[in-house]
Structure 1
Amino acid sequence: MTHTLPVARTLPVTHTLDGLLGRTSMYRLVLNSLIVLGVVAFILSFTGTLEFPAADLGASLLIVMVSTVGSNLLFALLFRVHPHPESSVITGLLLWFILLPTSDPKLLLQVALAGVIASGSKYVFAIRGRHVVNPAAIGALWLALFEFDVLGLWWVGTKYLVVVAAVVGFLIVRRTRRVALVATFLVVVVVVTMARLLIDGGGIGASLEYTLLSTPMVFFAVFMLTEPLTLPPTHRQQLVEAVVVGVLFAIPITIAGYSFGPETALVIGNLLAFALGQRSGIRLTLTGRRAAGGRATEFEFHSARPLRFVPGQYIELSVPHARADRRGSRRTFSIASPDRDPHRLLVAMTMAPDGSTFKKSLGAMAIGTNISATGIAGDFVLPVDRDRPVLLIAGGIGITPFLGQLDGLAGGSRYDVVVVYVQRDPADLAYLDLLDDSRARVIVVTSTPATELPPSFENVIGPRIDRTSLAAAVPDLERRDVYVSGPPAFVDVVSRLAADLGATRIRRDHFAGY
């Protein structure tokens, strides 16, 4: 069945902020943001705006980077794992912004010790290959616990650097889609700190200025709290951690002569996150790959240890390779397999000649090769109540998180499911056989007629999906749980369309970088 509907060109195609951010990996974006912040710090130091001499900044930076990166390479050799240089550079820069800048040789030794401890924590304080606490925080905490002279001063919390941290932080939060996490933490810190200062007799204006411009809360929230490997796996758990860490961050606490600093608050939050259900590291073996339709390729992995996941969740794969481009060697992918076999994992991605070095390395990888993955996480899962009708809207390769969910429908699920699959070029349509087997109502939106669709599919012709065509295709949209997956711009626009049409339960899965 084919329908040609008026479809507005409402989605930005190129040069959008999300498109630009999606062209680089999260690690590279954080690294570049820290470099920008560091350059500004040196400029402020040279102009006398920052109280620390440039010589102290430079000496501390050199020592912390050499100790952190160098020790990371040594630990990797000792534990026989592939090092992640970008991660260790980020850890070193974070420590640099935390510890007291100095050029005193004795104090620089303590800075070097913090770098070694931070790197070592990734291997020693780890469960099955995944570190439990933020490395930079544990490096600073170790010095504080044993009363070293180089304490966690968090000198980055000055008003000029706070402004820069807020600007680059916006980009990072936009890229990671962790607005709720960061906002919750910041609100808790501001409210608790303001209340404490007002109770102590401070004025509202002075208290607010101090809270916003003289604490490292913005830097802490953006660069430390959002560190993905130490976050709990679900959105609600992450918000719980944000509240707990925010309270500990804002209230001065002293126990047995030890005063809690931001690093203490974060480590406690990391331990809470682990207790709430932090997944451990995973070792996978590539067992096969196949064309899934269009430009999509499916990769099959075997895990010797049973995996626990719910269809719709995601996993981060690590594929170390030479001359990695700016997208890096780690990427997150939605799990495309059903949960029937806990040892089998499927992921799918679009492969193109000009694709990232990550995809090229994975595409050329020999069958039987072992790779590592971080924990499984995410909340993009179907409602527990199977009587609730759902609408799944996919843009391009955004169809992948729905594959495991739809696979279960063929087994007799009671879900009332409508799938809207938007793919501009009909030749790029993938997994049509699985969609057909699911017995869901499937609406395919393409710019030109799709001639090889199963008979039960409906084909809407148009360059984009708009409010009119979405309402016509799914007239009962307002009563459905809506799930939208695909490129960030697509997800944001379609989510707004669904909300305009009366949907009140909308979940989003942004595929940045695809």
Structure 2
Amino acid sequence: MMKAIDHALNRTTMYRLVLYYTAGLVGAAFLLGFARLVPEDPTALTFSLALILGTCWVTNRLFTEFLRIPANAESFYITALILALILPPVTAANTVGVAGLVLAAFIAIASKFLLAIGRKHIFNPVAVGVVVAALVLDRPATWWVGGNLVLLPLVLVGGLLVTRKVQRFGMVGAYVLANIVATMLTTPPDMLGMGIEQTFLYSPLLFAGFAMLTEPLTAAHGRWSRLAFGAIVGALSSPNVHFGSLYPTPEMAFLAGNLFAYAVSPKGRFKLTLLRIEKMAAGCYDFVFQSDRRPAFQAGQYLDWTLDVPNPDNRGNRRPFTIASAPSEAEVRLGVKFYHEPSAFKASLSAMQPGDVIYGSHVAGSFTLPRDPAEKLAFIAGGIGITPFRSMIQELVNREESRSIVMLYGNNKLAEVAYTELFEQATRSLGLRIVYAVVAPEAPGYDVHHGFIDEGLILREIPDWNERTFYISGPRAMVVGFREALRRLGVPRSRIRLDYFPGFA
């Protein structure tokens, strides 16, 4: 069951999934409104959504045209849909209500460009827009989507899918747990049961956690930082928490959490100018860029890359890719595998010419080398999943730092093997041991393993496997398959690292 779910999730991007999630909730509320199962009037909801969407579209277009930067194709739609789900729907006759929706939508989109440092916006746009509308026009959010039992199953199922897609169960769990603990500590004992019931069934808790907490650009990035971020937002979102006469609303809690996330996370957005394109193997190319400022990252981490795509498809124009270059290299490399009928993003990427620009943001990922250089490692790479290992090995070569590493690198054909010169250099200078596994039969004389990487190859080529920490990178099915294979061998979970970034599509 979970394999089928993961297969479906991996066919779309995180942003497109959130778009489907929020649009589905709006559509369900619209239909259920006719049956009076949802108190929001369908006509008012339709008018409000159209007004918010129009305002977001115009504002987004004005800023992107004026600043001449590409924006995520789904981003303003998601912002508009979340606003429509938490602000009270109004009719055209309600002039103050109309003004409130327009103001919230305008501020939400404008904040992405104006409340930004180093081209990176600091605050969750929805939270900013709602807080300003509440303060200026006294039009606060009602979070009506979170207070309806009929919509709750959709909120829960769709939200869990989003959380699985982005692999942020720890952060969302910390958020929910902190909210419950704060509620328990601030609720009289005789009302505790009712307080917990209200929290789960009639509060913004779940929707806010699924749709807003998981927004990557304003969330914390490191593992422990994400847990702390979730806990801060969750605790401050509890209805009885207050500071004197100030009772923070959920959106105010997000703003406080965003400040923490900004303080502890990598900062800024990078303007990357293409220098050249290098063919690394059959169908594999390195796009080599010059950044306007040196990105701070660890070998093995990834970036969100935003490209101006004329007609984006369902995979969008913002995609997460591993940084193939080492942190100590002056140039930034993006390693890409091209297939028949590529996505609109990859088609636009392949059409880039020297001097063209792409933007990078949100340095993230925990698929990095351990701090202890004495720790024995085993790398398993499939296809273009070699890129984080290229980054790590290049960094070790540059630092002249020898580590005990055995790497199994699998491809369909010998011609698809990339970065061989670097790996040969690392073999000579650092003692890297590498085994190439090729599925297709090759001419005799090549020193490769013919066939797939499997448990037998691991046992034969890595006799001290039980002393090593395994790093696995490649297609999602391969990564999951090797995780299970290693668990069957007896490798503990603590010594299995998976290359994860939100969206393998």
Give the TM-score of the pair, scaled to structure 2.
0.92
The equivalent of 1:446 in structure 2 is 438
Amino acid at match of 2:254: L
Deviation at 1:383, TM superposition (A): 0.9
Alignment gaps of 5+ in structure 2: none
Q: For the residues of structure 2 that align with 1:256 and 1:111, how far apart are their CA atoms?
A: 30
Q: Would the aligned equivalents of 1:420 and 1:445 in 2 still touch at CA under 8 Å?
A: yes
Give the counterpart of 1:405 among 377, 392, 415.
392
Match of 1:371 in 2: 358
Alignment-derived partner of residue 143 in structure 1: 133
Counterpart in the other structure of 2:336: 349
- The unaligned stretches of length 5 or more in structure 1 are 1-11
Please state whether the residue corresponding to 2:362 is helix, strand or coil.
coil
Aligned to 1:75: 63
- State the Cα deviation string for residues 55-99 of structure 1 (Å, max 9, x = none): 221222121111122112122233333344421111111111111
Paired residue type of 1:513 = F
Say whether the 8 Å CA contact 2:175–2:230 is kept in structure 1. Answer: yes
CA contact 2:70–2:306 (8 Å) conserved in 1: no
Q: Hey, what does 2:267 align to over in structure 1?
A: 279
Describe the superposition over 1:457-501 as per-residue Cα deviations: whole angstroms up to 9, x where unpaired. xx4333452x44433332322222221112222222212322332
In the other structure, the counterpart of 2:290 is: 302
Tell me if structure 2 keeps the 8 A contact 1:64–1:115.
Answer: yes
Q: In the alignment, is the contact (CA less than 8 A) between 1:436 and 1:454 conserved in 2? A: no
* Residue 335 in structure 1 maps to residue 323 in structure 2: yes
Which whole-Å deviations, capped at 9, do the CAs of 1:109-149 have from their partners, x for residues lacking one?
Answer: 11111101101101110012111001011101112334x33
The answer as to 2:253 corresponding to 1:265 is yes
The aligned counterpart of 2:458 is 470
**Alpha carbons 2:367, 2:498 under 8 Å: kept:** yes
Report matched runs for 1:459-498 at 5 Å. 459-463=448-452, 465=454, 467-498=455-486
User: Cα gap change, 1:304/1:106 in structure 2, threshold over 3 Å: closer, same or farther?
Assistant: closer
| Offset of residue 45 of structure 1 | 1.2
3-state secondary structure, aligned to 2:277: strand
How much has 1:452 moved relative to structure 2? 8.3
CA distance in 1, matches of 2:197, 2:97: 32
Correspondence 1:79-90 to 2 at 5 A: 79-90=67-78
Equivalent position amino acid for 2:191 in 1? G
Asked if the contact 1:393/1:419 (under 8 Å) is kept, the reply is yes
The SS at the match of 1:427 is helix
Per-residue deviation, 1:166: 1.6
1:43 aligned partner: 31
Q: 2:226 aligns with which of 235, 238, 246?
A: 238
The 1:386/1:367 distance shift into structure 2, 3 A limit, reads: same
Cα drift, residue 194 of structure 1: 4.5
TM-score, normalised by the number of residues in structure 1: 0.90
Change (3 A) 1:492 1:270: same
Deviations 1:10-39 (A, max 9, x none): xx9xx9433332222222111111111111
In the alignment, which residue of structure 1 is the partner of 2:117?
A: 127
1:163 paired with 2:163, answer no
With over 3 angstroms needed to count, the CA separation of the structure-2 counterparts of 1:386 and 1:67, relative to structure 1, is same
| Alignment-mate amino acid for residue 244 of structure 1 | I
Q: Matches of 2:283 and 2:73 in 1, distance apart?
A: 31
Q: Measure, in 1, the Cα distance between the counterparts of 2:124 and 2:264.
A: 16
Q: Does 2:383 match 1:383?
A: no
Q: CA deviation at 1:348?
A: 0.5
Q: Does 1:360 align with 2:360?
A: no
Structure 1: how far apart are the matches of 2:304 and 2:262?
17
Instruction: Identify if the C-alpha distance between structure 1 residues 437 and 200 changes in structure 2 by more than 3 Å, giving closer, same or farther.
Output: same
Q: Residues of 1 paired with 2:16 and 2:197: CA distance?
A: 32
**8 Å Cα contact 1:194-1:211 kept in structure 2:** no
Q: Give the distance between the partners of 1:195 and 1:265, measured in 2 at CA.
A: 18
The letter of the residue matching 1:80 is R
Counterpart of 2:504? 513
Q: Which has the higher contact order (CA 8 A, sep 6+)?
A: 1
Map 1:184-333; keep pairs closer than 5 Å.
184-194=174-184, 196-197=186-187, 199-202=188-191, 204=193, 206-255=194-243, 257-333=245-321
Matched, 1:176 2:163: no
Q: 1:183 to 1:425 in 2, by over 3 A?
A: farther
State the Cα distance separating 1:254 from its structure 2 match: 3.8
- Partners of 2:463 and 2:197 in 1: CA distance: 51
Q: Deviations over 1:338-366 (max 9, x none)?
A: 2223x410010111231111111111111
Distance 2:134 2:465 in 1: 56
The structural deviation recorded for 1:211 is 2.4
